[in-house]
Amino acid sequence: MGKSYIFKVIAHASIGKMNSVIDEVHKRSGKSKASIFFDMAYCAKKYGAGYYDYEIFAFYNLNKQQRATYMTRMISKKFNTFMNNWDYAHFLENKDEFNELYRDYIGRDFIEMNKASKEDIRKFAENHEYLFCKLQDKECGIGCERLKVSDFESFDKLYDYLKKKEFCTIEENITQHPALSKLYPNAVNSMRIITVLDNNKVAHCLYIVQKMGLGGSVIDNNCLFAPVDPETGIIKYPAHSGDTTKGIVYTEHPDTHVKIQGYKIPFVKEAVAMCLKAATVVPQIRYVGWDVAITPNSPAIIEGNTYCAHDFWQLPPHTPNKIGMLPTIKKYIPEFFEANPKL
């Protein structure tokens, strides 16, 4: 990391939040707050680790060699910039463009509000019991709503609501596989499948996590997640809280009481194969986090994220060897490390 990075971190850090992290690390580790602060500052300069990185990856329990294997906040930013040409990001970030371009992979009907007439939308609503509604250029389920058509007194009331909320894309609601409903029935529990394109435009799967809804949520973001074996489809470890700073581990789903580790997700190999194909559609975007639903008969891509959160790859309950993701990335994208020789 550059010599000035630590000063930038300190200048832009929230002192209150940083102190809160130091307090939490002190409780977890028993180390003095002064030693935590200075080690945190060292990790910011040496590894590009923000104070949340220090907390969630338990850097206080890692040696120098182990710390150097982690994709931290600053390295993640560098990697995203290195891999993705942002002039092409709109193909994934714009919901309407995405559905048109990836029509063969999404496996569901949809309609674009800004192109469809009121009568088109009426016909669409008549053909579907539920509508899944999305805002433009949003990720992680922000602003999404699942509407039951019969909950509205009339189509006019439904249409007015859709216009008032400024939804851009209205989709057929996904029916998920019974195995996923058993985990949690109120949301479509999607997998996050992370892919990279190497210099030869060959796609590789870096990692998979199974996300799960929680506590009545109709989306699965920021709830629970656990790593999945890409070959067997088996969940490898207990789940972690979606808020990674909480550090809560779940051996069973708190709502359905399904044991998480060892649970088998169907169609995982097919989902990986689908994402590897989808990863080549816009080769200028080489690093994508795909959200994939499993329907009763096949996988279906929900969306592609051009910025992949780096935290849920490398959490302590899921990394018993205390090795982060950088060695895996280096295997496929060595040129990134050649361009950043201090990593």
Taking 50 as the threshold, does the pLDDT of residue 172 lie above it?
yes
CA separation (Å) from 74 to 224, 310, 323, 334? 25, 10, 18, 18
CA separation (Å) from 71 to 112, 165, 196, 302? 37, 37, 15, 26
Q: What is the pLDDT of residues 259-303, one digit of tens each?
A: 999 999 999 999 999 999 999 999 999 999 999 999 999 999 999
- Give percent above pLDDT 70 in the chain: 94
Domain 109-172, CATH number (from 3.20.20.100, 3.30.1490.20, 3.40.50.2300, 3.30.470.10): 3.30.1490.20
Taking 90 as the threshold, does the pLDDT of residue 308 lie above it?
no
Taking 90 as the threshold, does the pLDDT of residue 145 lie above it?
no
Confidence of residue 5 (pLDDT cuts 50, 70, 90): very low
Q: How many CA atoms lie within 13 A of 245 on its CB side?
A: 12
109-172 and 83-94+176-331 share a CATH fold = no
Q: What is the pLDDT of residues 242-258, one digit of tens each?
A: 999 999 999 999 999 99
Taking 50 as the threshold, does the pLDDT of residue 3 lie above it?
no
Residue type, 130: Y
Cite the beta strand spans of 119-178 per DSSP E.
130-134, 145-148, 169-172
pLDDT score of 4 = 52
The domain locations on the chain are 5-67, 83-94+176-331, 109-172
**What is the C-alpha end-to-end distance of the chain, expressed in Å?**
8
Q: What CATH number does the domain located at 83-94+176-331 have? A: 3.30.470.20
Taking 80 as the threshold, does the pLDDT of residue 232 lie above it?
yes
Confidence of residue 15 (pLDDT cuts 50, 70, 90): confident
Confidence of residue 11 (pLDDT cuts 50, 70, 90): low
Look at the block and give the residue holding tokens 């479509």: 188
* CA nearest to 227, candidates 275, 255, 197, 263: 263
